[in-house]
Structure 1
Amino acid sequence: MDEVKVVVAHSERATLRVGDVFLKVDADQARIDVEVEAMALAPVPTPEVLWHKPHVLAIAALPGATIGRLGGPSTGSPAAWAAAGAAIRKLHDAPLPPRPGGAGRNIVALAAELDDECELLVRNGLLPADLVTRNRQVAEAALRPWTPVFTHGDLQIAHVFVDGDEVTGIIDWSEAGQGDALYDLATFTLGHEEHLGDLVAGYGTDADLDVIRAWWSLRSLLVVRWLSEHGFDPFAPGCEVDVLRSRM
């Protein structure tokens, strides 16, 4: 008999695996709607949608394995990273989806959110002031105008599956929409700077590495407190706090 495996769970959403089926339960129905729409539009491999009802989405498992995970070694070869870069470029070259995504927030609002979060990180004693100040300076380079593209919006390394050197699918599209291409590249390489060159080689165009590094700092500053409050450990080796420390 297949067991029920909890893949990830917190107060906003949970993902369960039963055999070759993943069940995504989300308190926000809009995120499920975005995910289903984005997978239908994306010109890259995505999981098969088996069915979806209010607050639940059932998708089929993908072949292969993730290219790696944050805080752990990458199991993907340089060619697999280049293939991921080529798939991301194909997504970014596609026609724009109808709505803004997680990577498409207003620059002024994003800067204000970042400043508020930096203040809370220091006030609550989560991170030292010098670490926050330095990374806030680095993050400034990401706060610039960009031309919107079709972005995944939460392109963590664990969301891309490969079989050998071939991308077999990309999962978790609930933040997809119009956004900054370099945010996707930064999210994918967070904690794996050693593979940035392989990814950009596959992506096939010049990418501003300073902006990608700025997004590493910005994303990490924004999520440390949330992760800490929802049962995750951003202080684990190779994770968000180590990313911040690497900018010092």
Structure 2
Amino acid sequence: MDEIEVVVAHAERATVRVGDIFLKMDADQSRLDREIETMRMAPVPTPHILWHQPPVLALAALDGRPLGRLGEPSTASAAAWAAAGGAIRELHDATPPSWQGASVDGLAARLDTECAWLLENAVLPTDLVTRNRRIAETALRPWTPVFMHGDLQVDHVFVEQITDEVTGVLDWSEGAPGDAMYDLATLAIGHPEHLDDILAGYGAGHGADHGADHGADVDRGVIRAWWSYRGLTSARWLLEHGFDPDSPGCEFAVLRAQM
């Protein structure tokens, strides 16, 4: 080991890699405690916890490599994407955590606030925000809570290159009871060409573009609605923390594709 790699760093959290150890620092100790508890409850592979000394959590590196990265074509096989879908199904079939997840009213209020900010600051054209807001609102309906990861970005899922098995899932800080469609949408955002592979592993048929796939309660229209919701509501945070949602294939590209 001859260097330290900064994986991510912003005002709320930072993660650095030292050899095969990841050191995760979080300014909110209760959030870090909940993340540890969520990892212990999860029925899918998670990083091994080496030690925890507030505000630092030490995790062992996972085997394999990320399923992909937002804004880049994925080189993972269809079987690997299907394996990720199977892992999500296993998670969603488990007993949800006991704490409260986000409410529909709370999510709607956040959508209102973030859309107003986007328009007031001329971050995106009015018609782009308006159209995507109408799409996003269809996701804000009653759902049966499942064990939701809550931030299932494509680079949080690691797979073994040869066997295509899921070796682990990272970053459980948003784990809570929630909408199954949100996890599926988060994994597929920016990689819609792999949605069928994910749903094949999850246990859903191809179905129609709207309405539920019988037997698995998968609604592709709601998945697309969460794409709009995530793009609209994450933009301000990304911009304020040094990330660019307008990079090719990222959040703003997803919003434009929804048009």
State the TM bucket, normalised to the shorter chain: over 0.9
**Separation in 2 of the partners of 1:153 and 1:162?**
19
**1:126–1:225: 8 Å Cα contact kept in structure 2?**
no
Query: What are structure 2's unaligned runs of at least 5 residues?
Result: 205-212
- After TM superposition, the runs of 4+ consecutive aligned structure 1 residues lying more than 3 A away are none
For residues 72-106 of structure 1, give each alpha carbon's deviation from its aligned partner in whole angstroms, at most 9, with x where no partner exists. Answer: 11121100000000000000000121113xxx311
Structure 2 residue 49 is the aligned partner of structure 1 residue 43: no
Structure 2 residue 128 is the aligned partner of structure 1 residue 117: no
Q: Percent identity?
A: 66
Q: Secondary structure at the match of 1:214?
A: helix
How far off its partner does 1:221 sit? 0.3
2:241 to 224, 230, 239: 230
Partner residue of 2:174?
Answer: 175
TM-score normalised according to structure 1 size: 0.97
Structure 2 residue 217 is the aligned partner of structure 1 residue 218: no
How far off its partner does 1:128 sit? 0.8
**Separation in 2 of the partners of 1:84 and 1:35?**
20
Q: Which amino acid aligns with 1:246?
A: A
Structure 2 residue 140 is the aligned partner of structure 1 residue 143: yes
For residues 92-148 of structure 1, give each alpha carbon's deviation from its aligned partner in whole angstroms, at most 9, with x where no partner exists. Answer: 000121113xxx311112112101110110110111100000000110110000000
Within a 5 Å distance, the mapping from 1:1-248 to structure 2 comes to 1-100=1-100, 104-164=101-161, 165-205=164-204, 206=213, 207-248=218-259
Query: What are structure 1's unaligned runs of at least 5 residues?
Result: none
How far off its partner does 1:2 sit? 3.5
* CA root-mean-square deviation: 0.8
TM-score normalised according to structure 2 size: 0.93
For residues 3-40 of structure 1, give each alpha carbon's deviation from its aligned partner in whole angstroms, at most 9, with x where no partner exists. Answer: 11000000111000000000001101112111110111
For residues 177-225 of structure 1, give each alpha carbon's deviation from its aligned partner in whole angstroms, at most 9, with x where no partner exists. Answer: 1111000000011110000000001000331000000000001100111
**Separation in 2 of the partners of 1:195 and 1:46?**
23
